[in-house]
Amino acid sequence: MTSPACLILGGTGTLAAAAEDLARSGVDVTVTCRRPELAPRHWTALGIRVLALDRDDAPGIDALVGDGVDGIVDGQCYTPDHAAALARWSRASGSTIMLSSRAVYVDAAGRHANSEEAPQWPGPTPETTATMEHHGEPYASRLGYGANKAQAERVLAADGERVSVLRAARIHGPSTRRVREWPLVRSVLEGAREIAVARADEIGTLTSTASLAQALAACLRRPGSRVVNVGDAPAVTNLQAARILTGALRDGGTTATGLAVRPAAPGEAGALPGAWATGQELDLSTLRELVGPPPEPAATLARTARWVRSIARRGADGAWELPDQFDGG
């Protein structure tokens, strides 16, 4: 089997935009996933090869890597064991990229993104901030997700070669499986005249699929060992995000004229969740050195809104819904 120039492990969701950008730039891209039928149909025209291959099928990925590839991008590195395999593959790759998360960070009191008590950040979080310790927690758990990611990073730092770790905030954009924008878009489609947003004034960094694609391409062009916070700039509040999203729907022709978007009162029933900003702003200095100015939320959130509207459909009962592969929570 001929090894691809760029191998993306788990590339039909969050990393789909990156796969497309690379293919359009002339890179030979192969994407692995569990359900190839979910890959966009236009990928055939872009020359993107899609293979049904589980991330835990190490022998199968060994065969793909073969004698070497130009780049490996791992969107499914969740555990230290995953990282150990990726470290091995990195030695046969010109550049290797692991998709990580802001969830690895801990504040001065040891609190993290999934703590019962919210962390307190004194300012923008740099990559040098302390990260979670791992004590064997399952990765698919509230406490284990960040701890496993942090330990996976440490394994790659010790045993990998030319590995770039990209720490993302909450991700939005075309093809993402978790569509946090859906409650808002559905409200607009259902003709809401007013939307109340919870945690309206909370501010934070958002990460678009466009920002990830930009950072990923830069790391492939410039192999090295690095950790990079990835996000859009500037940081926005949940109220600002909601207003950008509804404004894009209005501009796109969806009925949103006259819609009021306001902060929710404390405990207000029916308020939509402030699903974007989490109270943590990431320091994007390293990202700016790597790629230049990051994308702006005004543009990326608008694109997200239009994408969500494009995939929405009427269900059998006439209610608006998303296709089954997307989580609208």
Instruction: Give the fold, CATH level 3, of 6-174+207-230.
Output: Rossmann fold (3.40.50)
User: Residue 282 carries which DSSP code?
Assistant: B
Query: Which of 40, 78, 288, 312 lies closest to 181, judged by CA?
Result: 312
Tokens representing 260 are 């009021």
* pLDDT by 10s per residue, the chain, length 329: 455 699 999 999 999 999 999 999 999 999 999 999 989 999 999 999 999 999 999 999 999 999 999 999 999 999 999 999 999 999 999 999 999 999 999 999 999 999 999 999 999 999 999 999 999 999 999 999 999 999 999 999 999 999 999 999 999 999 999 999 999 999 999 999 999 999 999 999 999 999 999 999 999 999 999 999 999 999 999 999 999 999 999 865 555 557 999 999 999 999 999 999 999 999 999 999 999 999 999 999 999 999 999 999 999 999 999 999 999 87
pTM: 0.95
pLDDT attached to residue 1:
43
Cα 108 from Cα 106, distance rounded (Å) = 7
Tell me which residue of 264, 287, 286, 289 sits closest to 274, measured CA to CA.
264
Closest by CA position to 303, among listed 195, 173, 197, 183: 173
Name the residue ranges covered by the structural domains of the chain. Answer: 6-174+207-230, 182-203+235-281+295-321
Determine the pLDDT at residue 254.
Answer: 54
Q: What is the dihedral of CA 282, 287, 292, 298, to 10 degrees?
A: -40
Per-residue model confidence (pLDDT) at position 250: 82
Other Cβ atoms less than 10 A from the Cβ of 193: the count is 10
